[in-house]
Amino acid sequence: MTAFDTKPDSEKSLKISSLVKFNDVHPRDMTKDDWVDDFNSFYDTMRDCYPYFWIKERVLGYNWLDLKDRYMERLEAAEGMQDILAVFWNAVTALQDTHTSIWLPRWMSYHFREDSYFQQREPYKTIFSDEVRGANEYWKPVLEDIYTERNGLNYEVLILYTKGNYVIVDGHGSWKDRYGYGTKIIAVNGIPIDSAIRSTYEKDIIKLDFDKNKPYQLSITPKLFGISAVFTIEIAGGEMRDVSFDASTDYRYNNAFNYPSEWLTTRVWPDEKIAYIRFRNFELDNVDEGMHDFLIAFYTKVKDYDHLIVDVRGNSGGWKQVWVDNIIAPLIKRKTTSRMYVGFRNGAYVNRQYHRGALRYCRFPREHIHTNR
């Protein structure tokens, strides 16, 4: 996304370094042609550097590069920055890659902290510079608004995917009287629900139910079909009805998935010889020497149990180092080796990053020895 140069006019330059480029036009002064240039640059960079297009086409059934003309038409028809950013957001989401996304500026705050990983090593220290921090501040309210518009609304009822169906399981107000618990969503705007879900590739990451061999969304929210969508529902007894649900930022379902809020949860059932441990995520910030010692003590306590359940449902990810050091290494009986292979496209940007060390540095050696502590 276009940033802007915060230097005086006499010092303006199109690049701070070979890794960070700044547009000398402030975003609020950009013309439609400027945004089109940005979008072309974005698409060209992805074309030359993204390594999984052929895999994505095989899995998704469409070639992301072929969508460009559609996005260019939307860009030409855009009437303001919100419309323009929506085109970028839709295009990035259509890639259907959980590690490729537009980040909100507040998510980047850690990258600028003096004690962060990114401020301790080059080239990241150059990339996350004071100039980039200034641009980051500008985008905060702009991107927050569009993020809220896309993700902040909920329907008056909570619709979750369960056992192959989309079912109403919670709600606000008199939802039980009007719809009933367990009511199924059959169609959206006259389109069978499974087919409609396939069309949401620009709105959210689509999952795959391997057991039923079909794509699904964990929940149905206004982000997917809008606030005016007409749903065909099937209530108890088989009655079919077309309804539109109210949508608001006031509707919340904070405990929808009933996951504990703690980073680490442990339980034991001594009589059954069963132990349970759940990790909410594998972020480095959650692990210190005391936490690791606690885990070792827990494993020692249950070492004679018949079963240890490691629950990673709802896990938001993190670092390989965390689960290797805190799950694998303490539990294996013999020393073992894992190998990691990394492949890159031969694009100009990738090569520039590689030769400056951004991609050569790895948190683990290519062969990493795991030992029981």
| Residue range 34-66, pLDDT digits in tens | 999 999 999 998 999 898 899 999 988 999 999
Instruction: From 284, 278, 287, 295, select the one nearest 318 (Cα to Cα).
Output: 284
For residue range 86-141, list pLDDT tens digits in order.
Answer: 999 999 999 999 889 998 989 888 889 888 888 988 778 888 888 888 888 888 99
Q: Are 85 and 141 in contact (CB under 8 A)?
A: no
Report pLDDT for 193.
97
Nearest Cα residue to 362 out of 94, 121, 184: 121
pLDDT in tens, 277-292: 999 888 887 788 788 8
pLDDT of residue 254: 82
C-alpha 213 chain-centroid distance: 23
Strand 307-311, strand 274-279: pairing: parallel
Q: Give the pTM.
A: 0.79
CA distance 22 to 164: 48
Closest Cα partner for 37 from 9, 7, 10, 14? 14
pLDDT at 8: 37
In the prediction, which pLDDT does 284 show? 80
CB contact at 8 A, 167 and 160? yes
* Tokens describing residue 339: 């190998």
Angle (CA) 150 154 157, round 5°: 150
Looking up tokens 């009822």 gives 157
| Amino acid residing at 66 | D
Bigger pLDDT: 192 or 281? 192
317-331: average pLDDT: 89
- Average pLDDT rounded to a whole number, residues 141-168: 93
Q: What residue ranges define each of the domains in the chain, with the CATH number in brackets?
A: 9-151 (1.20.920), 154-248 (2.30.42), 264-370 (no CATH)
- What pLDDT shows up at residue 372? 44
Mean pLDDT of the chain: 85
Neighbour tally for 67: CB within 10 Å: 17
Say what the pLDDT of residue 134 is: 86
